[in-house]
Structure 1
Amino acid sequence: MFTLLPLPANAQTEQRSYLTLEILQDRIDHLVQQEGRDTIDLSNYIIDLANPDSDFNLQFYQKINNIISRAGNPLSLNFSNSIIQGNFQLNQLGINSYIGSALSSVLTILEKAKINRYYPVQNNLNQQVPRINIFRGSLKFNDAIFTGEVDASNSLFLQQVIATGAKFQNIVKYNHSFFGKEVNFSQVVFSQNINFNLCHFFAVAKFQQVEFQGITDFSNSQFEELIEFNDSLFNQLTDFTRSVFIKTANFSNNIYRDRLIFAKSKFLDSLLFINTTFEKNITFRNSYANFLIDLQDAHLLERIDFSNAFFTPRATINTSGLAFDSAEAKLIGETNIIGKYINVNRLEGNETVLRNLIRNFRSLEQITDANRLEYKREKLRAKQLSELITKTSWQKILTWSWLSLIPQWLGLNLLLLLGDYGTNINLLFSLGMMAIAFFSVLFWFIDRYRPHISQPIIPNRYEIIVMAISYLSLTCLSIVNIFIMTERPWLTLLCIGIIFLPIPALITSLIYKQGRYHNLLNTTYFVEDGSFREFRLLLGRLPIMPRFPFFRDRYQPILWCRRWSWLIYYNFSLNNIFKLGFYDIRLRDRHLPGLISTLVWYQWCLGVLYIILLLWTLSRTIPGLNLLIYF
């Protein structure tokens, strides 16, 4: 997955000599120019600091610190290709100074302004003024080898810190440090624990192709610019708890052999884990995500936990190509929330990913999240079918393979628009209420408005007002709910209009255009079963009267003379759509115009399709009922 590049040939073969106090003094007296800066060049040496009480050890820090603390211009330090034996107290080489108004006088006005920006201190008489080790020049440790501990804690680096290819064989401490310019630890080997706790990086930080063999601690740190931790190996715990990432954080092509913790962290830009392997748990508990979390082609062997994480509307989790490589692999998040933010960019190549994610949430009994992912999968499938239909060459159009795609595309889009593919029960109930209201008013109008007969039948003002108010109330409430519950409300309403309006409008216009010339013209077209008035499930009921005389005797014309008679038409539509009702209302079968019968059967057929869709949706959205289908 990653390769650690070998040292350059000249670095491997060049002979190193021991650094003595005489050579050190000569290097201090004869500064060299490197990258336009005065530099103390201590590269290609063996620096023996193993004995902390030795005269060399004491004078090593003292001589370097004296010249750095007194120099008018910033001095850089170059330890490239050197071997530092023993513990290395890097922070003793900087300018130890108070922060705030008590900054060292050797610092320029511009440097003081930078320090106050990097390390702001509130003016508080009761607060002790902090001290920090300030490095004015750059530090270079390219291909250096550190055999002991490295302590650079409580330091502020105004220039670059470059350590590409270095090897740290013991503990490294940079905790509570500030980095004003680029930090580059690429191709480094950390053999023991490293501590960057409470650090602040104001520029790009690079840790590419790094081998972290011990515990990696970047907790409570802040990264203002791009950070690159890609192509690296983490053998033990990696901790970014309470860290803040202002710009993109790249952790792609990494291998994590132990836990990775981002608990209570903030990601204001993209977080990339492309082609990364997680062999242990990764935690985002109570984290904040403002943009993309990219898990494309990542490999998950245990849990990735987004519990109590907060996602802004811009946030998304890209799981394209995400592999669940073990039975313990899980993706955990807040119920009814995490599913909104998981996405894949296309269906092709991601069928297994979506299947694993859906199975993952069903096993966690997060039915809503599983359904939301299934809805997204079918949206991608509809998009795929649409592309196959529209991008087919002219030679293949009107062939059977092309024509067979059209009913698939049409049926799938109907399921998506009318119920979010069986995942949105509220949308489906709104559809049912609109159907009941529309057909109730339509049947009431056809039955109660017959102006062109010998004895005209016209409803009174009370009926008109009540029917108008009830219809508008139910329809408006349903439309409002549709706008709340679906992503594409206008397309959903258009689809409903195409189903409800053309055929009923055509039949109704033909009824009034042709006129009515039949017997029983002054009698209602609807009859009710007078043997019961109770709430019943009428699942197998047909909208016509039975043929056997014994049963026919129970059916009588509905009452027109009651103030509540308008409710009968709602009951009839409720019978046909929801297969429920307080009355068993049916069509009379004598002297009945065929157009009215056609209209009733059209509603009844829509009701059968609706009840199938409703039962399917209920089985997928109510825990327990879904087991009938999936387990």
Structure 2
Amino acid sequence: MGNRQWGTVIKLACILFILIFLLIAHPSPILADLERSALTPELLQQRIKSPQLQEGILTLDLTYLEIDLTADNNEFKEEFYRQLQNFLTHSDKAIGLDFSHSLIKGDLISSRLGMSTVLSPEILPKNLTQTERKIIESDPQFSAQSLEHMSSVILFRGSLQFNESTITGNVDFANSLILQKIEAKQAKFTKEINFNNADFGRKVDFSKSVFKQNANFNGSQFQEPVKFNQVQFLGESSFNYSQFKQSADFSEVVFNKVVNFSHTSWLDSSKFITLNCRDRILFSNSIFSGSLNLSNSTFEKSIVFRNSYFRNMINLKNVKLLGIMDFSNAEFLKEKAINIAGFAFDSDTAKVLGNTGEIAEFMYLNSIEGNETVLRNFIQNFRDSEQIPDANQLEYKKQKLTKQQLSENIIRTPYQDYWRLSFIQKIGHWLLLNVLLLLSQYGTNFSLLLGVGLISIGYFGVLFWFIDRWRRRLPTPILPNLYDIICMVSSGSSLLVIGTIEIFNSAEYPFITLLCLSLILIPLPLSLVTLMYERGRYHDLMESSYFLLDGGLRQLQLLIVRLPIIPEFHFFRDRFTPLMWERRWNWLNYYDFSLNNFLKLGFNDIRLRDQHLPGLISTLVWYQWTLGILYIALLFWTLSRTIPGLNLLIYLK
């Protein structure tokens, strides 16, 4: 044989060796099927006589078997159930069943395997351990009262294992109480499974299993952690009225049809990470005591949380929504309850709904970086649904995050860049943003802005009255009478109290808001007044008011374009006369002028005279007029955001 032929033989031998090694290390499903042995009455009897110890529990080894429980093999089916039930119910010790890697043809029915009993101390088997009794007593159906009207349950004392097994028929474990763990990793359930009103006393693990038909877990009790991760629910699945007392893991699950978790109770954390839900998923009337994690999940249709209660946070990070997410009438215990970082509206019909004026309060982001689109989409979502308070709430949170980001940028700026134009612009932007946030919550809170306006109008009204009436004490006093003093002090205090109450009811940080308002209203006006009294007033017309009243009209007027100084043309000047100090109602005119000068709205046309007038008083009046222009702009901007009808005109797509 030549060298070339020997080389070919060696190569073939190597390839054959590698194939054999791979088959041994990773046996294929086909080979696994070939390894299964048909279960016969004799083999069943042999296995019953020699149970194996697994994790401290005697377990009947029914692995790698082909178990035919179809109607065509009725004689064996009856023998199978009879022998197993007799063995399980009459044993003094808990016996588990291990069907791993087996093929079960036909239906698997728990009532023909377990022990039928009533959950009452009088009826329970005497050979139960203390731990088993504790699990049974925690079942909602357990009762120490009369046995009348009590239904029976199917009791399994041992564990159940279906790892990598296939069941071609229906699985019926309704009204079953399983005291040990149930494990069904990578199992295949070809037809419907029914765990209605089942109670799982230990861990439940269905990881990587496939449910090809409907799965019914209605009313089930899960006492310990549950794992359904990477499961495929190809049919409808229902967990109505179920209770999860410890953690539940539904990560990477595929729900192909409707899944119903309504009226469920989750006492610990629940994970639905990387969920793929192709139909509706319902969580209505449920209670979530632990955190709910839906991060990186995709919802192609609606997800409903109506009337649900959340004691902990909901993580919606990187969720992709194509349908409707409904939080109507849901209650949240935590202030920061819904994490919306990376949330995506992936279709034109995608919507998030909730109670108007409430749902947005519970949404939060840790940073605006990378989430600008998220906030913009949520704001537009609430505007489209005419939930204007929620849209405004998110706009306010967005600007707070912007301020936080801007503050961090300013702090990190090197000292050498302090005099650059870009840094000065940042400082200006930061100051303006802070003022808008504190005085109007960035144009989203009309009540807060109203409180600011009441304080401002009252403050300047008292200030104008003071500088006009309190002229001098000597040689001839020019002072207000006691009645005017009482009226101005009481009315000014009332406006201050009302405005302050409004701010405390509306502002997030009322003390800081009042401090900001004080910095605008107090330093410059009081400096002007103090300087004026230090210099003294030595001009003509000392006994005449600085303010002139147009007596031609007395009506409510909107005077946006009006200036606070008397007109130059003598024809108009003749209509203006000084305020009459001796009249009892004259003190109201100072509030009228303040309202007119600040809000451009008043009952009388009152202006400042332009002769024998101290320049400091003119400066004070023009200062209020300038603040009024800014206030009106802020007021209209706020109204455009808070009134739905006006909002539609401004935010039309």
TM-score class normalised by the smaller sequence: over 0.9
Secondary structure in 1 matching 2:97: strand
Letter in 1 for 2:396: Y
Offset at 1:315?
A: 5.7
Q: Which runs of 5+ in 2 are unaligned?
A: 1-22
Measure, in 1, the Cα distance between the counterparts of 2:600 and 2:544. 26
Partner residue of 1:297?
Answer: 318
Partner residue of 1:605?
Answer: 626
CA-to-aligned-CA distance 1:398-450 (integer Å, 9 cap, x gap): 32222211111111111111001111111111100000111111111111112
1:579 pairs with 2:579 = no
Q: Give the conservation status (yes or no) of the 8 Å contact 1:11–1:81.
A: no
CA-to-aligned-CA distance 1:485-534 (integer Å, 9 cap, x gap): 11111111111011011001111110111111111112111111111111
Partner residue of 2:115?
Answer: 95
Measure, in 1, the Cα distance between the counterparts of 2:336 and 2:290. 9
1:330 to 351, 359, 368: 351
**What count of residue pairs does the alignment treat as equivalent?**
626
Letter in 2 for 1:17: S
User: Which residues in structure 2 correspond to 1:213-612 (within 5 Å)?
Assistant: 213-314=234-335, 316-612=337-633
Measure, in 2, the Cα distance between the counterparts of 1:110 and 1:233. 36
Secondary structure in 2 matching 1:76: strand
Letter in 2 for 1:280: K
Secondary structure in 2 matching 1:550: helix
Letter in 2 for 1:158: L
CA-to-aligned-CA distance 1:92-112 (integer Å, 9 cap, x gap): 322211111221223234322
Structure 1 pair 7/508, CA: closer, same or farther in 2 (3 Å)? Answer: farther
Offset at 1:296?
A: 0.8
Partner residue of 1:32?
Answer: 52
Secondary structure in 2 matching 1:156: strand
Q: Give the conservation status (yes or no) of the 8 Å contact 1:224–1:245.
A: yes
Secondary structure in 1 matching 2:325: strand
Higher mean C-alpha deviation, range 164-173 or range 464-473: 464-473
Partner residue of 2:99?
Answer: 79
Partner residue of 1:3?
Answer: none
Measure, in 2, the Cα distance between the counterparts of 1:396 and 1:178. 68
Measure, in 1, the Cα distance between the counterparts of 2:84 and 2:418. 81
TM-score (norm 1): 0.96
Letter in 2 for 1:381: T
Letter in 2 for 1:75: I
Q: Which runs of 5+ in 1 are unaligned?
A: 1-5
1:18 pairs with 2:38 = yes
Measure, in 1, the Cα distance between the counterparts of 2:469 and 2:175. 89
CA-to-aligned-CA distance 1:64-118 (integer Å, 9 cap, x gap): 1222212222111111111111111134322211111221223234322320112
Partner residue of 1:178?
Answer: 199
Q: Give the conservation status (yes or no) of the 8 Å contact 1:76–1:137.
A: yes
Structure 1 pair 104/25, CA: closer, same or farther in 2 (3 Å)? Answer: same
Partner residue of 1:197?
Answer: 218
CA-to-aligned-CA distance 1:537-585 (integer Å, 9 cap, x gap): 1111111000000000011000111111111111111101221111111
Offset at 1:369?
A: 1.2
Measure, in 2, the Cα distance between the counterparts of 1:426 and 1:589. 37
Measure, in 2, the Cα distance between the counterparts of 1:538 and 1:73. 94
Letter in 1 for 2:67: I
Offset at 1:586?
A: 1.0
Q: Give the conservation status (yes or no) of the 8 Å contact 1:7–1:143.
A: no
State the percentage of identical aligned residues.
Answer: 47
CA-to-aligned-CA distance 1:2-60 (integer Å, 9 cap, x gap): xxxx9982574341101111111111111111112211111111111112772211121
Q: Give the conservation status (yes or no) of the 8 Å contact 1:290–1:314.
A: no
1:146 to 167, 192, 196: 167
Letter in 1 for 2:200: F
1:614 pairs with 2:625 = no
CA-to-aligned-CA distance 1:303-343 (integer Å, 9 cap, x gap): 11112222234462221111111111111112112221222
Secondary structure in 1 matching 2:447: helix
Higher mean C-alpha deviation, range 580-589 or range 124-133: 124-133
Letter in 1 for 2:26: A
TM-score (norm 2): 0.93
Partner residue of 2:26?
Answer: 9
Q: Give the conservation status (yes or no) of the 8 Å contact 2:252–2:275.
A: yes
Secondary structure in 1 matching 2:577: strand
Structure 1 pair 445/7, CA: closer, same or farther in 2 (3 Å)? Answer: farther
Measure, in 2, the Cα distance between the counterparts of 1:393 and 1:523. 58
